[in-house]
């Protein structure tokens, strides 16, 4: 590794890094409908589009095996993969699993992991269609490739949001993040202890959201049933702020979201208060909620409301020049800017 000029990745941030690395790539294949910039690659396979996404989950970054049961991790890996396909309004159908496994893992450990994978595959109706298991030096490396399909007229990109579209989210936000903080606190409290007795009572919801998240596919089914195709969509994995910025960047628009409209669960509030964390910050920057952020034309507002629970309108799309901002109950606008490199 030569060291002539050195630009830290953190100087660029995630957005600009990918732009810079992929700037010179020009499509060759006629079947490549979309290159980078969405949750999944879009490939024209005749009557339908085939969607392919890839996720990398690394021990020590994306999960901590001190408090993450391998069965839950397997389940979550599948949900993470399916989430990318749902974000394109598609149906996940096949999954390929790559595992790098260090010597600390036994066959029984992998069986636990695969039990979680299998349960999630059954829940979401996907087939484990292939993969690769190899040795690793350090810990567990998981790569998930998810393949799905979508009718051509129903595909949703990040780039389709228009001025005045309603900004909607499914479920509530920040719960996975507060669950993570709780797990980290109990880990610190019992570090070195042979008989840890973590205090989890009353926190089942936020723990579940962290350890065994689910995709809100029922909302997609309800939208489809009502004949509503979102204009843009993304899954909430980086946090509301970052994911909204992705939509606005790809759609070349601005956005206003309202602080008091962001749905935050009771348990999320309580844990945030206990840990002296701003619950709105948890919702904006927490990530890993696996909910969906999508936009819908304002003309469909009434039909949207009829769909009932599970969808919250938190703001609307604006002109690009107005930027992306969070409006407080006092009417102040707080600019939402590009996140750094995590």
Choice between 133 and 299, CB closer to a second copy: 133
Nearest residue (CB) to a second copy, 28 versus 335:
28
Q: Closer to a second copy at the Cβ: 59 or 165?
A: 59
- Nearest in space to 207 (alpha carbons), one of 187, 178, 236: 178
Smallest gap from residue 119 Cβ to a second copy (A): 11
**CB closer to a second copy out of 48 and 164:** 48
Are 341 and 271 in contact by the 8 Å Cβ rule? The answer is no
**Is the CB of 58 or the CB of 163 nearer to a second copy?**
58
Burial of 192-231, coded b for 16+ CB within 10 Å and e otherwise, reads: eeeeeebeeeebebbbbbbbbbbbbbebbebbeeeebbbb
Nearer residue to a second copy within complex by CB, 111 or 204 = 111
Sequence-distant (6+) residues with CB within 8 A of 204 are: none
Joined together, the tokens standing for residue 218 give 């029922």
The helix (H) or strand (E) run that includes residue 234 is strand 232-236
The tokens for 48 are 């339908």
**In angstroms, what is the minimal distance from the CB of 287 to a second copy?**
12
Nearer to a second copy, 21 or 275 (CB): 21
**β-pair partners for 292:** 235
Q: CA-CA distances (angstroms) from residue 264 to 81, 295, 300? A: 24, 20, 25
CB of 304 to a second copy, least distance (A): 30
| Residue 228: CB minimum distance to a second copy, A | 26
Min CB(342)–a second copy separation in Å: 6
What's the closest the beta carbon of residue 100 comes to a second copy, in angstroms?
5
- Number of Cβ atoms within 10 Å of the Cβ of 4: 4
Q: How many CB atoms lie within 10 A of CB 65?
A: 15
CA distances from 66 to 180, 190, 191, 298 (A): 12, 11, 10, 46
Place of tokens 């946090």: 239
Sheet with strand 311-318: strands edge to edge: 232-236, 291-296, 166-170, 311-318, 254-258, 324-327, 333-335
- Least distance from a second copy to the Cβ atom of residue 280, Å: 25
- Cβ 86 to a second copy shortest distance, Å: 16
Q: Which residue's CB is nearer to a second copy, number 88 or number 296?
A: 88
């Amino acid at each position: 590794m030569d060291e002539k000029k050195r630009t830290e990745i953190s100087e660029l941030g995630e957005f600009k890094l990918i732009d810079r690395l992929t700037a010179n790539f020009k499509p060759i294949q006629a079947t490549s409908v979309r290159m980078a910039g969405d949750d999944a690659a879009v490939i024209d396979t005749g009557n339908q589009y085939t969607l392919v996404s890839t996720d990398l989950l690394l021990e020590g970054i994306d999960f901590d095996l001190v408090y993450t049961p391998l069965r839950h991790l397997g389940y979550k890996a599948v949900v993470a993969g399916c989430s990318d396909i749902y974000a394109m309004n598609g149906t996940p159908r096949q999954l390929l699993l790559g595992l790098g496994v260090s010597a600390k893992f036994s066959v029984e450990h992998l069986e636990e992991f695969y039990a979680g994978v299998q349960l999630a595959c059954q829940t979401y109706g996907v087939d484990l269609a292939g993969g690769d298991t190899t040795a690793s030096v350090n810990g567990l490396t998981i790569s998930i490739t998810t393949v799905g399909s979508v009718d051509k007229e129903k595909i949703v990109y990040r780039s389709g949001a228009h001025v005045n579209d309603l900004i909607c989210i499914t479920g509530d936000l920040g719960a996975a993040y507060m669950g993570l903080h709780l797990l980290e606190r109990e880990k610190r409290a019992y570090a070195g202890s042979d008989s840890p007795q973590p205090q989890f009572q009353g926190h089942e919801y936020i723990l579940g959201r962290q350890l065994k998240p689910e995709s809100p596919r029922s909302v997609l089914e309800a939208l489809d049933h009502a004949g509503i195709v979102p204009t843009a969509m993304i899954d909430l994995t980086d946090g509301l702020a970052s994911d909204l910025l992705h939509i606005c960047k790809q759609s070349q628009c601005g956005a206003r979201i309202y602080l008091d409209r962001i749905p935050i669960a009771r348990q999320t509030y309580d844990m945030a208060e206990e840990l002296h964390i701003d619950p709105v910050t948890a919702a904006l920057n927490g990530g890993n909620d696996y909910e969906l952020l999508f936009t819908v034309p304002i003309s469909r507002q009434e039909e949207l409301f009829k769909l009932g629970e599970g969808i919250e309108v938190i703001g609307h799309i604006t002109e690009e020049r107005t930027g992306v901002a969070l409006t407080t109950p006092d009417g102040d606008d707080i600019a939402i800017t590009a996140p750094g490199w995590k």
